[in-house]
Structure 1
Amino acid sequence: MPAGDRSRALQIIALACLAHVLSVAHHATFPALIPLFQTEWGLSNSESGWISGIFFAGYLLGVPVLVPATDSLDPRRIYIVSALVGGLATLAFAWLAQGLWSALALRALAGLGMAGTFMVGLRLVTDRLSGRWESRGASWYLASFSIGLAFSTLLAGELAALGGWKLAFLIAGLLSAGSVLPALLLPPVPQVRRTAPVSRPLDLRPALRNRTALGYNIAYACHTWELFGWRSWLVAFLVFAFAWHGQDSVAGFEPTQWASLFLMLGLPASILGNEAALRWGRRRTLTLVMLASAALAAGLGFASVLPPALLLLLVACHAILVMADSSALTAGAVAAATSRRGATMAVHSLLGFTFAFFAPLAAGLLLDLGGDTPLGWGLALASLGLVAACGPLALRYSARHQASPAA
């Protein structure tokens, strides 16, 4: 690749990733502070799960309209408006949230904003790149979500300790709205990459007929059940595990700080997972990774009785495995969508984040049933691994329909 083209590709990826990191600054603000809200508002585990999950319900309301609309409208405009919605909803949470019901409404609105930034932002990358740079750009963009989530978790914990949860939401909202700036700096889409508007852009049926992509969509849903269920309860789990051993911190690090470190592991894991899929075969690599991650998730809750150092090592291993399949799954769906890419990614998000909505709630319900004990946490986290283990079955379905038309 000529130096000028390489420089342009790197510029596009850097700007898109920066926008992505800023846009999700509000994402983990509530999950990172679940123990605080449970104390201040008297929330149960089930109610905490509802507030965590309702974010994805808001996301699901917007995806069927906003993501397929990128086949006809400028994705950058959709991105900018949605980023402002998410940022303003988070600012409103800082001033207006007073309990369960107000929290549910405002977190749902923040999730609606993310519906127009997450997968829409992927179009900002892939529409401007081609060849192997398109796959790598998608991989880096999706992997940067780990940076954004780690940053969001760390920011929430540090700011809440400094000035309370209202300050955490205020700063997160401002940063999320600020993601419009790098999005505006992206170069225009090359003329050769532009496509004519399609008729009926909100019709998802062509994407559903693409059996190859649909297999990746379903596998991604199994992945997001494990991923977002785990992320929603990660800090609360670490708080419990540390307290079980009579500690508030380990090696001088608080639970939110440990969680941020673990979430950062998702960046190299996601990128290297995609590279491994390109080299050794996408489905073979994904099957091995998903089964290993599911097996580890199934045992993590019960492992809370282990010495903290050993438990943290297991959590770190799971943090790597649970993200190693993320970029490769989405890149597989993108590659299978030779036409109607927006519709295919809408189905990808709809299935994935429907599972993401129910996973925190299911874990919270099991935790209420089993109690705040190693058994309760064991059952809650095992439910995440059980669904994730179904992902390889969807990949086999995709393989059987490899020759299906893309749309």
Structure 2
Amino acid sequence: MKTSGVMGFWKEVVAVCLAEILGMAGFATFAALLPTFISEWHLTNTAAGWISGIYFAGYMAAVPALVSLTDRIDPRRIYLACTALGGISNLGYALFADGFAGALLFRALAGMSLAGTYMPGLKVLSSLVPGSIQSRVLSFYTSSFSVGAALSFLISGQIAEWLGWRWAFGVASLGSAAALGIAIWKIPPTKIETTFLPKTPLLDFRPVFKNATAMGYVIAYGAHTWELFGQRSWIVAFLTYSQSLQRAETGWLVPATVVAALVNLAGVPASIGGNELAIRFGRVRVISAIALASATVSCMLGFLAPLSYALVAALCLLHGVTAYGDSAAITAGVVATASAGHQGATMAVHSFVGFACAFLAPLVFGAVLDLGGGNTTAGWGFAFVSLGLAVAIGPIALAALSRPRK
């Protein structure tokens, strides 16, 4: 469904972005309340990393089939079903989770729900929006992910403080219900182009793997999400540790969940601005520069926990800018280089690799934290180094695989 003018589709674009934001109300609830769960359920850092990571494992398990299906059926149908699943998973966590096993189950289901909304939503927009402005519109959509994550941190922290963590997950389920209502009301059906229906079986990704240019962006996305989701999963616990090192006379400190929300919000202009720079100066060059800058910040951040809390919070904001800065440019790159008829399959591989890394990053971070001495400055330092080393892989992949399109 293509439209010739901006006014023809802007309402649908806003609706898709708003539904994404509301549907992500439970996205960061566990991460925002991580210190609470570690204390209440007596979790090790490694066990906490498993619960953080299982969300992305659920995403990873569902995304190849769900997103590949968008080449064959209306992505709106997938979007609606999975938005409903998101509400059910958050409500289930609120009512029934009472330890490690229950948390794993409901967070895995929540991850599956995201698999059927995030990239299918992107597919809806790519069908609505003309190619001339597609990159800019997609940058707003990917930036809406940061807004959703920020609000999830902020709302979860406040609701838990007032009413307890079960209410935080209960309120998140209401966000999914609101997203479902908006999607039913405003997201239009998408006509599947029969001319480009894939001739390969549903889960045959060989045409995607043969597209070296697209795969360069896919690998860069994996490196990007490793750093980003490792940071998202552990930032509240890290800031809580930094707060514990401050002198008693320091006075009131900004809550860690508020700082985490601001870090995510900082990603919105960073992601949009990074995409604009990529349009002007070249995607590979800009993505590589941002990734290397972010790797540098990551490798220093954890070791600086004993500094003034205000400075540590400011450095986390800087890390948010660098970690998010290449997000929209990478996703726009993979959409632009996908082969005709295999856009959904390419997005499926893109998402699978990215969220496989998002699954592993919190696990590895928690394991490195435990091996590095636990809740110590050295432990946090080495854990953040693991993020920096991962994100540095992106520029290498782009240099090796990406070529200018003729």
Q: Same fold (TM over 0.5)?
A: yes
Residue number in structure 2 paired with 1:349: 351
1:60 to 1:192, Cα distance in 2 relative to 1, 3 A: closer
Counterpart position of 1:158: 158
Letter in 2 for 1:378: G
Please state if 1:175 is matched with 2:175. Answer: yes
Q: Report the Cα distance in structure 2 between the residues aligned to 1:303 and 1:121, rounded to whole angstroms.
A: 39
Contact 2:74–2:191 (CA under 8 A) maintained in structure 1: no
CA contact (8 A) 1:242 1:249 kept: no
Q: Deviations over 1:151-194 (max 9, x none)?
A: 00011100000100000000101212321222223364676967
Aligned partner of residue 128 in structure 2, secondary structure = coil
> Per-residue deviation at 1:15?
0.8
What are the superposed Cα offsets for residues 263-295 of structure 1, whole Å, 9 maximum, x if unpaired?
Answer: 111111111110110011111101100000011
Distance apart, 1:220 and its partner CA: 0.4
**1:4-403 correspondence to structure 2 within 5 Å:** 5-186=5-186, 188=188, 197-199=197-199, 200-246=201-247, 252-339=253-340, 340-369=342-371, 370-400=373-403, 402=404
CA deviation digits over 1:345-389, x for unaligned, max 9? 000011111111010010101111222111000000110000101
Query: Could you say what secondary structure the match of 2:319 adopts?
Result: helix
How far apart are the structure 2 equivalents of 1:227 and 1:182? 28
CA–CA distance in structure 2, aligned partners of residues 65 and 316 of structure 1:
36
Please give the alpha-carbon distance, in whole angstroms, between the structure 1 residues aligned to 2:162 and 2:195.
49
CA shift for structure 1 position 249: 8.9
CA 302–84 in structure 1, closer or farther in 2 if over 3 Å, else same: same
Taking every aligned residue pair, what percent have the same amino acid on both sides?
45
Q: Which amino acid in 2 is paired with 1:395?
A: L
Q: Contact conserved, 2:74 with 2:189, CA < 8 A, in 1?
A: no
Q: Does the 8 Å contact 1:126/1:134 carry over to 2?
A: yes
Kept after mapping to 2: 8 A contact 1:213/1:336: yes
- The one-character-per-residue Cα deviations of 1:301-323 (angstroms, maximum 9, x if unpaired) are 00112112222221111111100
Counterpart AA for 2:255: E
Q: Distance in 2 between matches of 1:250 and 1:383?
A: 33
Q: Given residue 396 of structure 1, which amino acid in structure 2 is its aligned partner? A: A
Unmatched runs of 5 consecutive residues or more in structure 2: none
- The aligned amino acid for 1:76 is R
Q: Relative to 1, partners in 2 of residues 1:260 and 1:248: Cα closer, same or farther, differing over 3 Å?
A: farther
- The 1-side partners of 2:117 and 2:105 are apart by 19
Contact 2:76–2:187, Cα closer than 8 Å, also in 1: no
- 359 and 385 in structure 1: CA distance in 2 versus 1, 3 angstrom threshold: same
> 2: distance between equivalents of 1:187 and 1:175?
17
Deviates more, 1:286-295 or 1:128-137: 128-137
Tell me how far apart the structure 2 counterparts of residues 250 and 174 of structure 1 sit (CA, whole Å).
36
Which is further off, 209-218 or 178-187?
A: 178-187
Aligned equivalents of 2:345, 2:191: Cα separation in 1:
22
SS in 2 for 1:73: coil
State the one-letter code of the partner of 2:335.
V
Asked if the contact 2:219/2:397 (under 8 Å) is kept, the reply is yes
Letter in 2 for 1:375: A
Secondary structure of the equivalent of 2:186?
coil
Give the length in aligned residue pairs. 401
Query: How far apart are the structure 2 equivalents of 1:224 and 1:38?
Result: 24
Residues 74 and 190, structure 2, Cα contact 8 Å, conserved in 1: no
The amino acid that maps onto 1:385 is: G
CA distance in structure 2 between the partners assigned to 1:276 and 1:201 by the alignment: 36
**In 2: Cα distance, 1:246 partner to 1:33 partner:** 24
The one-letter amino acid paired with 1:21 is: I
Distance of aligned partners of 1:139 and 1:194 in 2 relative to their CA distance in 1, 3 Å threshold: farther
Partners of 2:10 and 2:388 lie apart in 1 by 36
Q: Higher mean Cα deviation, 181-190 or 225-234?
A: 181-190
Cα shift readout 1:136-165 (whole Å, capped 9, x = no counterpart): 111100000010000000111000001000
CA distance in 2, matches of 1:64, 1:344: 9
Q: 1:385 to 1:149 in 2, by over 3 A?
A: same
Distance of aligned partners of 1:248 and 1:264 in 2 relative to their CA distance in 1, 3 Å threshold: farther
CA distance in 1, matches of 2:156, 2:187: 33
Alignment CA distance shift 1:77-1:220 (3 Å): same
Instruction: Return the letter of the residue paired with 1:47.
Output: A
